[in-house]
Structure 1
Amino acid sequence: MTTDQPTLRPVPPGRTVMVMPTYNEADNLAWIVGRLRTAQPDVDVLVVDDGSPDGTGRLADELAAGDEAIQVVHRTVKAGLGAAYKHGFTLALAAGYDVIGEMDADGSHQPEQLHLLREALADADLVIGSRWVPGGSVVNWPRRREALSRGGNLYVRMLLGVSVRDATAGYRLFRRSTLETIDLDAVESTGYVFQTDMVVRCLRSGLRVREVPIEFVERVRGDSKMSGKVASESLRRITSWGLRERREQLFGSRGRR
């Protein structure tokens, strides 16, 4: 079993790793990792498990023991999606990866579509697999959930002044230089709002963000980690950022008069 702060194996230049946070995904992990390794055999996998009580971490260790492209880090507390991604990104950067990605462990992000994101990264700093650009879609979502996601993303665009249509999406590829440019250490978001935070930081840094359409498939096994409480927390944080920016713009414009 690995420790909370493992040293990942060095990799040659140009290698890609997908960071996959897990919490109680024992029913899905082997299935989705197997699909990823089949669809993109040159892509490594870093599972970041937040102390899952259902044995997900043990299963991840078993997968890693049989495939040197799979690595695992065990965290002792469930500190949030953003915290898990930040931890995984930090380890991946230290290990020398040039492309670092995100994907869910529940099957909603199809590994068979990862090539679309990899191709788009040729002229981008961050690529997002988007549900809400032309050609994107969701499968097995109730209308209420789709409306909430579309509405939330519209709110982000209007309040923060960004053009990305799916700023909350979690299927992504970052260039190494992107994470270095935005100063990953300065990112404090720990929950789902981490996704929006990262998009905004990239755009504010003048980096190129591209969206490619994907088909998002709702999980068929296990429980979703998204809840009304999580969504409300994200909206509060986004509202706070937007109001702060408006104050800065207002006082800044007054100061220039």
Structure 2
Amino acid sequence: MPDVSRTHLVLIPSYNTGERLFSTVEAARAQWNPVWVVIDGSTDGTGERLQTMAASDPGLRVSILRDNQGKGAAVLHGLREAQAAGFTHVLTMDSDGQHPADLIPAFMQASQDRPETMVLGRPVFDASAPLLRVRGRRVSNSWTQLETLFAGIGDSLYGFRVYPLADLKSVMEAQPWMRRFDFDTEAVVRLAWRGVKPVNIDAPVKYLTAEEGGVSHFRYGRDNVLLTWMHTRLVIEFVFRLPGLLWRRLRGAPPFQP
């Protein structure tokens, strides 16, 4: 059983993930303590079953939101509870089995070594990755590089990451976005603007088939419209930030500010 961390926790948002949620949580618990799960209005009964598991596992905590609010909203709920409990960093991972639980200790160690940074997974794809998703990711990454003036973010969408809790909570509470599928990308852009530097670590990602218990709530039309709107907003804001950003770089000061 891993030792209890008082500063870093694993945070897993989940919406109707089915049986795959339980193997994801078990894999995370085998690597880290504590693990918190936020059930985002699921209707598949997983929340109640996971609460039963948590009753006999002090390293597992489950929060259930009555209504589905989106991944970012579920993460923000967890951030508020984690900060109230005294934690300083959270590792977010998806509940559908795509992320490598065995790398949790390495990511946490990287964060503990440099707590002022955000530790970002840089996905290594295998043959299971849909080509359309991979190509779309390249487009999002290109926009993110521009929006952050090439701050070194290895990937804008891979949600296996360790965030400084106070910084992430602050940028989320300062504006109404980042509540759904736009969370992962906007989080790294706004944290870069805040001066949080990225540390990139390669990590495999696996797209599970339905036969393997894979569940995806990504919708190409709806979510690509959401991402396009997000990048439009970020580029406009970046243009307004650009003069100050360049001036600060010329002075040798940290390039970004809140």
User: CA offsets, 1:86-114, max 9 Å, x none?
Assistant: 11111111111132110001110111011
Q: Provide closer, same or farther for how the CA distance between residues 98 and 141 of structure 1 changes in structure 2, counting only shifts above 3 A.
A: same
Q: Does the aligned pair in 2 maintain the 1:82–1:192 contact within 8 Å?
A: yes
Q: Give 1:23-62 correspondences, 5 Å limit.
A: 23-40=15-32, 43-62=33-52
Q: Provide closer, same or farther for how the CA distance between residues 252 and 157 of structure 1 changes in structure 2, counting only shifts above 3 A.
A: closer
Q: Which amino acid is the alignment partner of residue 232 of structure 1? A: V
Gaps of 5+ in 2: 247-258
Partner Cα distance (2:167, 2:148) in 1? 20
Q: Provide closer, same or farther for how the CA distance between residues 187 and 126 of structure 1 changes in structure 2, counting only shifts above 3 A.
A: farther
Q: Which residue of 2 is the match for residue 110 of structure 1?
A: 100
Q: Which amino acid is the alignment partner of residue 243 of structure 1? A: I
Q: Which amino acid is the alignment partner of residue 224 of structure 2? A: A
Partner Cα distance (1:202, 1:244) in 2? 14
Q: Does the aligned pair in 1 maintain the 2:93–2:159 contact within 8 Å?
A: yes
SS in 2 for 1:213: strand
User: CA offsets, 1:156-191, max 9 Å, x none?
Assistant: 2234534312121211112345346x4442142211
Q: Provide closer, same or farther for how the CA distance between residues 155 and 175 of structure 1 changes in structure 2, counting only shifts above 3 A.
A: closer
Q: CA RMSD in A?
A: 2.4
Gaps of 5+ in 1: 1-11
Q: Which residue of 2 is the match for residue 146 of structure 1?
A: 134
User: CA offsets, 1:180-234, max 9 Å, x none?
Assistant: 6x44421422112111222122211212211100001113314301111112211
Q: Which residue of 1 is the match for residue 235 of structure 2?
A: 242
Of 51-60 and 236-245, the range deviating more from structure 2:
236-245
Q: Which residue of 1 is the match for residue 173 of structure 2?
A: 185
SS in 2 for 1:147: helix
Q: Provide closer, same or farther for how the CA distance between residues 66 and 209 of structure 1 changes in structure 2, counting only shifts above 3 A.
A: same
Partner Cα distance (2:188, 2:236) in 1? 18
Partner Cα distance (1:47, 1:57) in 2? 9
Q: Which amino acid is the alignment partner of residue 20 of structure 1? A: I
User: How many residues matched?
Assistant: 235
User: CA offsets, 1:47-72, max 9 Å, x none?
Assistant: 11122111111121112112011111
Q: What's the offset of the Cα at 1:139?
A: 4.9
SS in 2 for 1:214: strand
Partner Cα distance (2:245, 2:190) in 1? 20
Q: Which residue of 2 is the match for residue 209 of structure 1?
A: 198
Normalized against structure 1, the TM-score is what? Answer: 0.83
Partner Cα distance (2:131, 2:245) in 1? 42
Q: Which residue of 2 is the match for residue 200 of structure 1?
A: 189
Normalized against structure 2, the TM-score is what? Answer: 0.82
Sequence identity (%): 24
Q: Provide closer, same or farther for how the CA distance between residues 202 and 249 of structure 1 changes in structure 2, counting only shifts above 3 A.
A: closer
Partner Cα distance (2:245, 2:202) in 1? 38
Q: Does the aligned pair in 1 maintain the 2:79–2:165 contact within 8 Å?
A: no
